[in-house]
Amino acid sequence: MEDVSISRKLRNLARLLKSQPKNIILLTHEINIPHDLSEVLNVLDFPLPDLGEIRAELERLLAATADPLTGKTLDELARSCQGLTMERIRRVLSRAIATHGQISSEDVDLILEEKRQTIRQTQILDFYPAHAEISDIGGLDNLKDWLLRRGGAFSEKARQYGLPHPRGLLLVGIQGTGKSLTAKAIAHHWHLPLLRLDVGRLFAGLVGESESRTRQMIQLSEALAPCILWIDEIDKAFSGFEGRSDSGTTSRVFGTFITWLSEKTTPVFVVATANNIQALPPEMLRKGRFDDIFFVGLPTTEERAAIFSVHLQRLRPHNLGQYDLSRLAYETPDFSGAEIEQSLIEAMHLGFSQDRDFTTDDILEAASQIVPLARTAQEQVEFLQDWAAAGKARLASKHSTLSLRIQRQRQNPD
């Protein structure tokens, strides 16, 4: 198609075939039409198989095995196959029949592994295992309540009620405060697959390839819907794109992406996290891109106690009572969740090196050696807190010091 002589011959042939009942069909895996052929070509897109087509193929294969499945199991298998080509679906189900002579609900794990292979081959999205639960998040009560209210929003009952699909969530805040953990917990709580997008993978060296990868990412995530699309540190990808000397590639990718955020009708719930709100273009923050924007700040004393409890419950479930959670929370001001976890790891190293279990004093000793980010990046943290206090985002925590500050400002606006 890049050869001028071939392009010229195709145009001449198109003119000749106008008087004949004949057509030329060109097959390609990507659209890259020269400008002088755009008037004589029609593009017909072949999407991945939808749920109805997958179910029909499953019924055909089940008829061959003479082993019928219940409607619920059939629906579960069909949903798990979404995002795969028909050839891959036939291959993975044929492997299941060859292994144990039938297709059953236990084959979902086999299908998910095939799906991981497919997504891995795209080198754009990662199929991320989500084992974190809502209870693993210490604090963030407002955010938890928001998520719990929308737990059934992807069901058919919600569609009959008239509810649209939830669009997504933008989590802005200080590093290490649980934004990424929240994305994993959402997928686990809502029982949806979690796809992680590394925005840097969208950008490629060849002209037009970045835009093609962006469209491929959108197509794949919509084919896997309902799903969670997790975009970590989105501020790093699109910061200052207007000044980049890349011939407008970043600008076009950004335009395609935010247009899809606004116009998508498929149940793809986008969870984007950002640390630097100044780096995000204003278009990203406009209403309609996301359902809501939450600010995740530093945990309060009560939230730090809850975070210590969550980690110690996992590390020492039988000896949780021997740790003074109130003292630990009081002695770690300005610590984020990640810094609390690191202090526990350091305390475990200390206890292990002396062939004993670690104690509250070990944790405090380890914490005293850590300089929290709230001090090393004080200006950035204060800017984020001022931005949230100005009412630019909802607060993820109910009883944070920032919440009290906003209440005082409303009571005494002067």
Number of other CB atoms surrounding residue 41 within 10 Å? 15
Quick one: pLDDT at residue 245? 55
Q: In whole angstroms, what is the distance from residue 191 CA to residue 113 CA?
A: 17
Q: In whole angstroms, what is the distance from residue 297 CA to residue 287 CA?
A: 22
Quick one: pLDDT at residue 320? 84
- Say which DSSP state 49 is in: P
Spatial neighbors of 390 by CB under 8 A, at least 6 apart, are none
Number of other CB atoms surrounding residue 234 within 10 Å? 23
Q: Is 58 exposed, middle or buried (0-12, 13-18, 19+ CB in 10 A)?
A: buried
Q: In whole angstroms, what is the distance from residue 84 CA to residue 101 CA?
A: 22
Q: What is the mean pLDDT of each run of 10 residues along the chain (414 residues)?
A: 84 89 85 80 84 84 70 75 82 81 72 74 78 81 89 81 89 86 87 84 68 83 84 79 63 86 88 85 82 88 90 88 91 90 93 93 92 86 84 79 54 57
Q: In whole angstroms, what is the distance from residue 58 CA to residue 171 CA?
A: 39
Q: Is 278 exposed, middle or buried (0-12, 13-18, 19+ CB in 10 A)?
A: exposed
Instruction: Provide the 3-class DSSP secondary structure of residue 128.
Output: strand
Residue 129 structure tokens: 């295992």
Residue 200 structure tokens: 């840097």
Quick one: pLDDT at residue 208? 65
Quick one: pLDDT at residue 411? 52
Amino acid found at 127: F
Q: In whole angstroms, what is the distance from residue 76 CA to residue 55 CA?
A: 10
Site of tokens 């540190």: 233
Q: In whole angstroms, what is the distance from residue 360 CA to residue 275 CA?
A: 31
Q: What are the distances in angstroms from CA 183 to CA 129, 170, 193, 222, 350?
A: 11, 10, 11, 18, 32
Q: In what order do the strands lie in the sheet with 394-395?
A: 125-128, 194-197, 227-231, 268-274, 168-173, 292-296, 394-395
Spell out the alpha helix ranges (H) of 191-248.
209-223, 234-238
Dihedral of CA 134/138/140/145: which sign? Answer: positive
Q: Is-cis flag, bond preceding 226, omega within 30?
A: yes
Q: What are the distances in angstroms from CA 81 to CA 69, 114, 223, 256, 323?
A: 16, 9, 10, 27, 47
**129 near 193, Cβ under 8 Å?**
no
Quick one: pLDDT at residue 385? 83
Report all structural domains of the chain as residue ranges with CATH numbers, in order of start: 4-37 (no CATH), 51-122 (1.10.8), 134-296 (3.40.50.300), 301-333+337-371 (1.10.8.60)
Q: How many residues does the chain have?
A: 414
- Say which DSSP state 303 is in: H
Q: In whole angstroms, what is the distance from residue 382 CA to residue 241 CA?
A: 25
Quick one: pLDDT at residue 227? 85
**77 near 105, Cβ under 8 Å?**
yes
Residue 261 structure tokens: 């955020």
Helix axes 141-149, 179-190, angle to 10 degrees: 30
Q: In whole angstroms, what is the distance from residue 37 CA to residue 24 CA?
A: 13
